[in-house]
Structure 1
C-alpha cells in the first residue's frame, strides 16, 4: 500500500467524492485506498488502546497504593473503638460532675439549715458534711484522667485525618457556607463570648471596679 503516491491518492479521493470517471483510477485503486485507510485507523486505535490501557493501569496502581495507605491509618479502629469510647468517657464526665455537684450543694444546704443551738450536734454534722464535700471533690481526679483520654483520641484523629488529606492530596478550599440554623447561630455566638480561658476576658477586679 505504501507504493501509492500522494498524488494518486488525491485523484482517488476526488473520484470518490465527486463521482467523476477517471481513466487512471480503477476499482483496484479504490480497494487499495480503503485497505490503506483501514490499516491507518487500526494503527491509530491500537496506539489509543495502549495509551488508555497504560493510564488505567496507572490508576489501578494508585488505587491499590491508596488502599494500603488507608489500611495503615486504621480508620476503622477510630470509628468502631476510639470515638465511641471517647463518647462514653464524656458521658461519664458529665455524670460524675453532676453527681459531685449535687452532693456538695446538698451538704452545704444541710450545714446552712442545721440548728446551731446544739453545738455538739452541729459540730458533728458539719464535720460529716465537710468530709462528704471533700470526697465529692475527688471526682476531678477521675474526670481529669477521662479528659486526657478524650484529648488523646482527638489528637490521634486529627493526626490521621491530616495524614489522609496529605495522601489524597486534597487542597484546602473555602467551603461555601450554607444556611445557618438558629441553633447553630446561637452556639456560635455563645462560643464567641465564653467561657474564657485563664488570663482572657474580663477579670473579677474589672467587674468590681465597674460596680
Structure 2
C-alpha cells in the first residue's frame, strides 16, 4: 500500500475520533499530536517514494544502457565466429609456412648434393629444383591474406571492447606483482619478439651476451 494512502487512512481515523465530541483534554492533545505526526509522515513518505522512484528509474536506465552496449559488443559473434576463425587462419599460416620451409630446404639440399659431372642433366635438375622453390615461396601471398583477416578481426574486437569500456566508464585495474615481475623478466631477456620500429638489440649487447660465462647466463633465468 502506498505511503500516501496509509497516511490518508490514519487521518480519516483521527477525524472520526475527533467527531465523537470527546471531552478529555489530554486525549484531544494526543489526537492533535497524532495528526501532526501523520501529516509529517505523509510528507516524509511522499518524498521517500519520489526518491526511490527516481533511483529505480536511474538503475533501470543504467541496466538498459548496459544491455544495449553488450548487444553492440556482440560477444557471441566474437566467441563463436571471429576468435575461432582467427585461430584457424593462424594455424593455416603456420602449416603453410612449415610446408613451404620444408620444400625450400629439401630442394636446396638436393641441389647441393647433385652430381655436376653432366652439365646438361645438372642444369635440368637445378631448374626443376628452383621451380619448386619458387612455387613454395608463393605461400607468402596466401599467408598475407590470412594474416590480414586475423588483423581485421582483432581490430574489430578492439573497437567494440574499447567503445564498451568508454561507455561504461571502465578503468584498467593495476597490474599484479606477478604480472609486473613477468613483464620485467621478458623485457630483460628480450622475450617479446622482434622490435616493431623500436630499439633493436645492439651489437655490443650481443657481444656482451656471447662473452658471458655459463654461470652468468644461468643467473638470467633464475
Q: TM-score range by the shorter chain?
A: 0.7 to 0.9
Count residues with an aligned counterpart.
183
Q: Which moved more, 1:116-125 or 1:154-163?
A: 116-125
Deviation of 1:184 after TM superposition, in Å, equals 6.5
Change in CA separation of 1:185 and 1:96 when aligned onto 2, cut-off 3 Å:
farther
Secondary structure in structure 2 of the residue aligned to 1:115: coil
Aligned partner of 2:176 in structure 1 is: 177
| SS across alignment from 2:178 | coil
Instruction: Give the equivalent residue in structure 2 for 1:109.
Output: 109
Q: Report the Cα offset of residue 164 of structure 1.
A: 0.9
* Corresponding position: 1:120 with 2:120: yes
1:38 maps to 2:43: no
2-structure distance, mates of 1:141, 1:161: 31
Q: Which residue of 2 aligns with 1:62?
A: 62
> For residues 43 and 78 of structure 1, what CA distance do their matches in structure 2 show?
52
Aligned pairs for 1:17-36 (under 5 A) are 26-36=26-36
- Listed as ranges, the matches of 1:26-175 within 5 Å are 26-170=26-170, 172-173=171-172, 175=174
Give structure 1 stretches of 5+ with no counterpart.
1-23
1:40 Cα shift? 1.5
**Alpha-carbon deviations, 1:22-58, whole Å to 9, x = none?**
xx96133124323422332232122112211121012
Question: How far does residue 188 in structure 1 lie from its aligned partner after superposition?
Answer: 4.8
Task: Give the C-alpha shift of residue 124 in structure 1.
Answer: 2.2
Query: 2-side partners of 1:121 and 1:199: how far apart?
Result: 49
Aligned 8 A contact 2:186 2:192 in 1 = no
Q: Which structure 2 residue ranges, 5 or more long, are not aligned?
A: 1-23, 207-222
CA distance in structure 2 between the aligned counterparts of 1:44 and 1:129, rounded to whole angstroms: 93
Query: Structure 2 vs 1, CA of residues 183 and 43 (structure 1 numbering), >3 Å: closer, same or farther?
Result: closer
Name the CA distance, whole Å, in 2 between partners of 1:132 and 1:40. 95
Greater shift in the superposed pair: 49-58 or 129-138: 49-58
SS at match of 2:43: helix
Deviates more, 1:188-197 or 1:104-113: 188-197
Task: Report which stretch shifted further, 39-48 or 24-33.
Answer: 24-33
- Using structure 1 for the length normalisation, give the TM-score: 0.72
Maintained 8 Å contact 2:100/2:136: yes
